Amino acid sequence: QVQLVESGGGLVQAGESLSLSCAASGSIVSINAMGWYRQAPGNQRELVAAIGRTGSAKYADSVKGRFTISRDNAKNTVSLQMSSLKPEDTANYYCNAGTVTYYEGGLYRRLLEVWGQGTLVTVSS
């Protein structure tokens, strides 16, 4: 089985920085895109940033210039460096892995999407 485990959430003040990390576990062969989504109370889950295997990244307009996504394909990890945080960045942040190929039970298997359990980021004004 494949699991994503996030870490790094917490409480910070506006203007400060915070880094999130996500590690995928299991007998993973490859992961296509990895990304971070967030969901604030009463809002829909939205894409924050995503990165492909080659390192090409895209960001939500609201975080461009403040957040940086990176990944380590060898370690199956993805990170999100957040700076100049604003109160409106407060949300549960979820790690996402798209098209995960893994080896289990003597077979290569594929999952279209895997989600982490989420980590809370709170930015106080």
At residue 15, the pLDDT reads: 98
At residue 57, the pLDDT reads: 98
pLDDT, averaged per 10 consecutive residues of the chain (125 residues), comes to 94 98 96 97 96 97 98 97 98 97 94 96 97
Collect all residues with Cβ–Cβ distance below 8 Å to 107 and sequence separation of at least 6.
none
Whole-number Cα distances in Å, 93 to 65, 99, 104, 106, 117? 18, 20, 28, 34, 9
Whole-number Cα distances in Å, 96 to 11, 14, 36, 78, 107? 22, 26, 6, 9, 23
At residue 1, the pLDDT reads: 87
At residue 10, the pLDDT reads: 97
What's the rounded Cα separation, in Å, for the pair 115 and 62?
22
